[in-house]
Structure 1
């Protein structure tokens, strides 16, 4: 597969998503020179950032000087194609984004937004990280996670059968078993 610039180097894209919210601290973290250099050192060629409602605009780059090609956008009707094309996903801790990425079998770094009150999302991200399905970071630890991550250590996520849980809930609510 050729790179998008006509070179023989394959395109290896990092896709960053913040969902529909504003998560400028994550966008700022991936826009640092040290993070971009580490991604480039690890063989990634492109950085595509979905920045949501954020007010911080990352620096675009064509990548012609050997650095990452950096692009960004605010919203899209669907990020499914971006997720499918990605070699690595860096995401906010929304359960939809997490599980969609894991179902596609993509390596994932979930960055917890510490500014959210009552952040149940961090519990989900930390539990899945403990089970080695993904890496969990904070904006200030993102560089260290990227620099030390071993993608081969990740265990593929296999979604379970939700029927026993649904039956238990139905029984609890007083609905008859089918």
Structure 2
């Protein structure tokens, strides 16, 4: 199954969870042929729950049933299996998550959290992109 796995790491990343649970993002994944989205949302659970509830309310039409299956969780001991099962990994710019995705290896989009101290994630993700290991992005 063609799966996208998104991880926010050990805390939360509200703007990433917000962006990846919009109808336009989900529709875009469907148009690209993905069948499943798995989101490790950490402490951003309220945003995930709200948006997924709103999406389900807006997708009540039985003739317009969503093809993309979405599931999420806050934390688990290891995300290795989720990364291994994914066709694409979208990750916060934490060094551990980046290295884990690259070791598997999986195509990787790294999303910077500009609100973290010194914006250190941007420096790391841009350096990794410069070496061709990933694509660097922002939640927008």
The answer to whether residue 26 in structure 2 is matched with residue 33 in structure 1 is: no
Alignment of 1:68-147 (within 5 A): 68-140=68-140
SS at match of 2:127: helix
Deviations 1:111-150 (A, max 9, x none): 100111212221110111122211111111xxxxxxxxxx
Query: Scaled by the length of structure 1, what TM-score is found?
Result: 0.68
Correspondence for 2:10 among 20, 30, 37: 20
CA distance in 2, matches of 1:31, 1:129: 25
Deviations 1:60-112 (A, max 9, x none): 66xx9243101110000111100100100110000000010011110111110
Stretches of structure 2 that go unaligned for 5 or more consecutive residues are: 57-63
- Work out the number of aligned pairs and report it: 128
Structure 1: gaps spanning 5 or more residues: 1-10, 141-178
More helix by share: 2
- The question of whether the paired residues in 2 share the 8 Å contact of 1:13 and 1:87 is answered with yes
- CA distance in structure 1 between the aligned counterparts of 2:77 and 2:6, rounded to whole angstroms: 16
Segments of 4+ in structure 1 off by > 2 A?
none
Give the structure, 1 or 2, with the largest relative contact order (CA under 8 Å, sep 6 or more): 2
Structure 2: distance between partners of 1:92 and 1:121:
8
What RMSD over aligned residues (CA atoms) do the two structures have, in Å?
1.5
TM-score calculated relative to the size of structure 2? 0.85
* Higher gyration radius (CA): 1
